[in-house]
């Protein structure tokens, strides 16, 4: 039987908030079985907690941000949520001294590294999965995202940008959780942005911490980062990374097939909400050895250093 996972020990780190440009401290703490993923704002008096759930996503303009009814906000959660999904963490407390998760290097790899440093432990409780029974789809113009029945957990993503950097590259990718591809080939893919957009946002006091240290920056013709790309298809790999994090806000891993075409945080969240409003399209399930479904999160094998 697949069992729930948390971390063995507390672990701490720090980085820059992409919106504020200021230092953010983060601490990851073990949590008991069936408690889920909880963010705790320690900079508030008293400290406030907010659960990582899709219905609390209130802002997807520049990131995925949770906001509860009292106004407690935690932004830029998608890369950390992706790392938690990628290594199969069900229960954890995430302490922050700011209203945003640090951007780190713009990928999920630093968070995977922190989780592995803390140690991953199985708990004495069955891991619950959301099994997709019927297709659910959301569309906006030519963009769409879909969940379909599948005997496993698979993510497919495709992008389409009319820009010289994206031409002649592989603009689609797949992640199957029966392999261990997430840590080595997906988690290290960095977020990306266009120089003109970054300059505009920063001139209006936004994304003050964004730059070449935590994003792939593209001008009208080329990638500006001195070291170039980590993968030839790093752009689409990062969009898939985002989708893994956004879909983990359903509160459990999937048994099903996610497909996204030009989707983003907003459409991914709408897909989660559409699934939650369609109870006939899914059910809770547990996995045992006779299920015939293989999902492998791996052990604490070494993570290649980002960079």
CA 240 – CA 237 distance, rounded (Å):
5
Q: Which helix (H) or strand (E) holds 148?
A: strand 143-148
Pairing relation of β-strands 57-59 and 48-51?
unpaired
Pairing relation of β-strands 23-30 and 11-16?
antiparallel
Residue 163 is a catalytic residue: no
**Pick the catalytic residue: 19, 55, 168, 265?**
265
Pairing relation of β-strands 92-96 and 153-158?
unpaired
CA 268 – CA 147 distance, rounded (Å):
10
Q: Which helix (H) or strand (E) holds 128?
A: strand 128-132
Count helices and strands (H / E) in the chain: 6, 19
Count of CB atoms within 10 A of residue 46's CB? 7
CA 66 – CA 99 distance, rounded (Å):
10
CA 268 – CA 242 distance, rounded (Å):
9
Cite the annotated binding site for Zn(2+) by residue number. 79, 238, 242
What DSSP state is assigned to residue 100?
Answer: B
Q: Where are the beta strands (DSSP E) in 31-109?
A: 37-41, 48-51, 57-59, 65-67, 73-74, 92-96
Q: Where are the beta strands (DSSP E) in 11-168?
A: 11-16, 23-30, 37-41, 48-51, 57-59, 65-67, 73-74, 92-96, 120-126, 128-132, 136-140, 143-148, 153-158
Active site residues: 265
């Amino acid at each position: 039987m697949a069992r729930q996972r948390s971390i063995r020990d507390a672990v701490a780190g720090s980085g820059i908030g992409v919106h504020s440009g200021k230092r953010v401290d983060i601490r990851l703490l073990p949590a008991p079985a069936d408690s889920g993923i909880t963010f705790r704002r320690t900079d508030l008096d008293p400290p406030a907690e907010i659960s990582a759930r899709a219905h609390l996503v209130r802002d997807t303009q520049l990131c995925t941000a949770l906001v509860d009814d009292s106004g407690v906000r935690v932004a830029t959660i998608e890369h950390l949520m992706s790392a938690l999904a990628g290594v199969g963490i069900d229960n954890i407390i995430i302490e922050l001294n700011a209203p945003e998760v640090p951007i780190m290097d713009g990928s999920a790899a630093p968070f995977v590294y922190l989780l592995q440093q803390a140690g991953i432990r199985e708990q004495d409780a069955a891991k619950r999965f959301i099994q997709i029974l019927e297709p659910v789809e959301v569309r906006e113009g030519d963009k769409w995202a879909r969940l379909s029945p599948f005997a496993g957990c698979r993510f497919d993503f495709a992008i389409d940008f009319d820009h010289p950097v994206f031409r002649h590259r592989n603009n689609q990718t797949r992640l199957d959780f029966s392999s261990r591809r997430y840590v080595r080939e997906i988690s290290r893919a960095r977020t990306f942005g266009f120089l003109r957009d970054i300059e505009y946002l920063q001139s209006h006091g936004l994304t003050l911490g964004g730059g070449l240290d935590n994003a792939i920056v593209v001008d009208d013709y080329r990638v500006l980062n001195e070291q170039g790309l980590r993968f030839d298809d790093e752009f689409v790999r990062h969009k898939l990374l985002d989708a893994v994090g956004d879909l983990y806000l359903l509160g459990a891993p999937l048994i099903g097939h996610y497909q996204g075409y030009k989707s983003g945080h907003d459409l991914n969240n709408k897909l989660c909400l559409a699934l939650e409003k369609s109870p006939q399209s899914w059910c809770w399930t547990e996995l045992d050895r006779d299920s015939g479904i293989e999902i492998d999160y791996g052990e604490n094998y070494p993570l290649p250093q980002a960079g």
